């Protein structure tokens, strides 16, 4: 790999980990903007998942007090069922069309929500609904690597606090990332270039994740809601490109 490519890996990892530390998701949204201009998609995909997993593991400690496993498990168990379904669908449907439909949905939802007062229309939804969202997130993860978008949106609709939201979708994302990495390992994507790039990214991940979680502690509930909605809006726009 060239020095320019390795520099892009480190630079993208730094900015992606800052955003992920602050919001709890969107690592891939930020880093792929750098990495896809410098490295092959077959390297970028496992690198995004592995680096995002590192940042999630770093930051989830700060939210451990808010984790309620009886709330998280419906998402995770259903999501793990969804990952192989998404992987199967990848070979049978137009993944690009699927991403555009999802992008339009995220744009509409976040665009409307940004101009409305905070609401919790799903506050009384039960574990069955949570599991359905987790299943959909797992399918999306297997199909396009975007497992966190729907659980993130749903956590906001449930009316949970910022700590409660992250204490759901971060453990969910960790489990989906582990499942995805095992798939990449089985399929032979974790090669020498991946190992070198991952080692180059590690210092940036540590610095960016540390800074991101410090910024998170400085924002209130309203600011956190707007940050998440703006990131979902940007995510939707990127998916439409």
Q: Report the C-alpha gap between 168 and 176 in whole angstroms.
A: 13
If we measure between CA atoms, which residue out of 83, 95, 78, 72 comes closest to residue 49? 83
- So what's the pLDDT on residue 144? 65
Q: What is the pLDDT of residues 189-206, one digit of tens each?
A: 889 999 999 999 999 999
Give the distance from CA 167 to its chain's centroid.
13
Q: What is the pLDDT of residues 123-158, one digit of tens each?
A: 788 999 999 999 999 988 877 667 888 898 899 889
Weakly modelled stretches of the chain, pLDDT under 50: none
135: left (phi over 0), alpha (psi -120 to 50) or beta: alpha
- So what's the pLDDT on residue 241? 76
Q: Are 221 and 87 in contact (CB under 8 A)?
A: no
Three-state SS sequence of the chain: CCHHHHHHHHHHHHHHHHHHHHHCCCHHHHHHHHHCCCCCHHHHHHHHHHHHHHHHHHHHHHHHHHCCHHHHHHHHHHHHHHHHHHHHHHCCCCHHHHHHHHHHHHHHHHHHHHCCCCCCCCCCCCHHHHHHHHHHHHHHHHHHCCCCHHHHHHHHHCCCCHHHHHHHHHHHHHHHHHHHHHHHHHHCCCCHHHHHHHHHHHHHHHHHHHHHHHHHCCCCHHHHHHHHHHHHHHHHHHHHC
- So what's the pLDDT on residue 193? 93
- So what's the pLDDT on residue 95? 63
Q: Are 35 and 9 in contact (CB under 8 A)?
A: yes
- So what's the pLDDT on residue 203? 97
If we measure between CA atoms, which residue out of 59, 21, 84 comes closest to residue 171? 59
- Residue 190 has phi, psi (to 5 degrees) of -90, 75
User: What range defines the domain where residue 217 resides?
Assistant: 3-240
**Angle at 139 (CA atoms; ends 133, 140), nearest 5 degrees:** 90
- Counted domains in the chain: 1
Q: How far is CA 237 from CA 83, 226, 232, in A?
A: 24, 16, 9
Tokens matching residue 205 = 């991940």
């Amino acid at each position: 790999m060239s020095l320019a490519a390795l520099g892009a890996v480190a630079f993208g990892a730094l900015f992606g980990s800052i955003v992920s530390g602050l919001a709890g998701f969107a690592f891939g949204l930020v880093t792929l903007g750098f990495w896809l201009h410098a490295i092959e998609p077959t390297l970028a995909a496992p690198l995004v998942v592995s680096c995002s997993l590192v940042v999630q593991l770093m930051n989830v400690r700060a939210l451990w007090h808010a984790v309620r496993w009886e709330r998280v498990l419906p998402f995770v168990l259903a999501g793990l069922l969804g990952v192989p379904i998404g992987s199967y669908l990848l070979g049978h449907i137009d993944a690009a069309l699927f991403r555009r439909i999802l992008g339009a949905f995220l744009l509409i939802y976040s665009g409307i929500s940004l101009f409305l007062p905070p609401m919790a229309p799903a506050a009384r939804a039960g574990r069955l609904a949570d599991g359905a969202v987790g299943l959909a997130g797992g399918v999306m993860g297997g199909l396009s690597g975007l497992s966190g978008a729907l659980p993130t949106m749903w956590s906001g609709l449930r009316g949970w606090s910022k700590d409660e939201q992250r204490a759901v979708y971060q453990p969910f994302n960790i489990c989906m990332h582990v499942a995805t990495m095992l798939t990449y390992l089985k399929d032979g994507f974790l090669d020498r270039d991946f190992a070198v790039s991952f080692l180059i990214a590690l210092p940036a991940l540590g610095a960016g994740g540390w800074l991101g979680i410090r910024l998170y502690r400085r924002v209130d509930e309203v600011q956190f809601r707007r940050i998440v909605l703006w990131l979902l809006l940007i995510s939707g726009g990127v998916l439409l490109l």
